[in-house]
Chain A
Amino acid sequence: MKHREIARLIQKTLDGEISPRDKGRLDKHLAVCPECAEFSREMVHSTAALRKLTEFYPQPGFNDRVISRLGLRRRFAWAKAGIVLVGGWLAAALFAAYSPLPAELLGKIATSFPALVRFYDNAAIVVSSLTSLLTPVVKNSIDATGPVIGAVFSVLFIYILGKTLQKEAKCRT
């Protein structure tokens, strides 16, 4: 058999496509031809080593960069921030409604900062006017200012939160 033919069979072996008949012919030749046997060994050795080559890795933090570029973490942060804000809002509302502390605190502030009181009075007039425009039922009722402001801000907050979540859902799809 010619060396060229042997080289072809060696390549076939490396391809994993050699037939049993050709394998027999090849082995027979390699047993008697040291030159081809050496060539075969070298071919097998140089390609077999490729399987054991080191695997390289990108720098630590690679996953985080991909995840944040995809916006997955941002979505998660928004959801988390939404929960915290709603919780905070409820806690503040309960605190303001049931604790005597805010009233005491406001009294102290009023005595310490008269300018602030004047500002509050002016603001109350503006809010009262707005309230009368927004809610005719409670117009001229200064007691309704707090709940109305709360309601307006709650609606505004829920609207913004809803829009944000809607945007994030769109982004996800």
Chain B
Amino acid sequence: MRKAPAEIHTLIQKALSGDEGACQRILNLYKGRIFSYIYRMVRNYHDAEDITFDTFIKCFRALATFDTSRPFATWLFTIAHNLTMDHFRKNKIEFEYIDEFHRSGDDLTADYEKKRKLEQIDLVVSQLPPIDRELVILFHKEEYSYQEISEILSIPVTTIKTRLHRARRKLRDLVHKPKE
């Protein structure tokens, strides 16, 4: 897992006492990761923003109940995951590829090719079933351990392992064996 910022516990204490600056700092530290994760799950910018918003509101309102012996990011991802699942349930979402995601890049930039490849990977990830998508993002992008993913998703480690192995194979097939 990514290393948590050293000052996170101080920030939490300050945020609990209503310090706006501390809340801003927490938002700046985690909003990118949380938003990216949710966006890759729901594939819609506005929905992702709404869920990210709700995640942080819920997080700050429940901050007093946060167990400081646990990693803060794991707790935050748990909230994000639960709200994303609520969104899926509420909207009976069909998990399909949405074209708006595939944005045009800047053709003149030097790292265009690299960027294009990453977009391709992102596109491929979006084609995975939601549970597989979530697992590969949490394990390979967010670098969470099996135990932490198990806490976030409330699924046994053995199930996560099996599913992740299957997801990796699918990912590899999609990346290296494109449909004709």
Contact = CB atoms under 8 A, between A and B. Distances in A.
Given A43-B172, A50-B136, A57 B35 contact: yes
Interface in B97-146: 117-119, 121-122, 124-125, 136-137, 140-141, 143, 146
A47 B171 contact: yes
Give the interface size bracket for A toward B: 20 to 34
B72 interface: no
A24 B57 CA distance: 50
Contact of A59 (B49, B118, B125): B49
A57 B53 contact: no
B31 interface: yes
Contact of B141 (A45, A50, A66): A50
Interface of B: 18, 20, 23-24, 27-28, 31-33, 35-36, 39, 48-49, 52-53, 56-57, 60-61, 117-119, 121-122, 124-125, 136-137, 140-141, 143, 146, 161, 164-165, 168-169, 171-172, 174-176
A106 to B, nearest CB: 45
Contact of B53 (A43, A65, A72, A76): A65
Nearest to A39: B172
A53 interface: yes
A111 interface: no
Given A15-B161, A59-B49, A52 B140 contact: no
B165 A11 contact: yes
A70 B36 CA distance: 23
Contacts of A49: 117-118, 121, 175
A47 B165 CA distance: 11
29 contacts: A11-B168, A15-B164, A43-B172, A46-B171, A46-B175, A47-B168, A49-B117, A50-B125, A50-B140, A50-B141, A52-B118, A53-B36, A53-B122, A55-B32, A56-B36, A56-B39, A56-B48, A58-B53, A62-B27, A62-B52, A66-B27, A66-B57, A66-B60, A67-B23, A69-B53, A70-B23, A70-B60, A73-B20, A75-B18
B57 A69 contact: yes
B121 A50 contact: yes
Interface of A: 11, 14-15, 39, 42-43, 45-59, 62-63, 65-67, 69-70, 72-73, 75-76, 172
